[in-house]
Amino acid sequence: MENMHFSHRQLDSGDSWETVLYETGQEAYAAKMINALYLKDVVEVVNIHEDKLVINEDTVLWHATPSEHVRKNVICYTEVKKPFPYFKKRIKHAFLFGAQTYHDHITLLKTITKFTLEANTNKKLYDPKLMREWFLKQAQTYKAT
């Protein structure tokens, strides 16, 4: 998949899921890859689906419908050292993705889900360098097909 940005950050803690969400998307927002309306869309999705966006015990995958509010496909990741409350869960790993098209949306959804399954058995994948390499390799795989 072409035209994708990846960011990785760490936080000691998060006061709320909203704080972690905005921190997670901060780099993509500052670089104008997503705009404030996309983040508003994500908040609306969270308010509707709540903990259905949790993809394993400690990982949330925030996203909204593809729109013109996404200028570049992005995967933003934040590791929170002290898990934060998210409805009835405690979250340590937060992903936010934005996609320009429905095809890219499905591709990113599958890719991040695949990553979390692999990271469950290989925690080293959460290392920033290894994670970036993993996602870049996946992007090349999708580009080749």
Q: How many CB atoms lie within 10 A of CB 91?
A: 22
Strand partners, 86: 89
Residue from 43, 34, 112, 90 nearest 67 by CA = 34
**What pLDDT digit, counting tens, does each position of 6-54 carry?**
899 999 998 899 999 999 999 999 999 999 999 999 999 999 999 899 9
Superfamily for domain range 4-144 = Mannitol-specific EII; Chain A (3.40.930.10)
3 state SS of 70:
strand
Residue 107 has pLDDT above 90, yes or no: yes
Helix, strand, coil % in the chain, rounded to nearest 5: 50, 30, 20
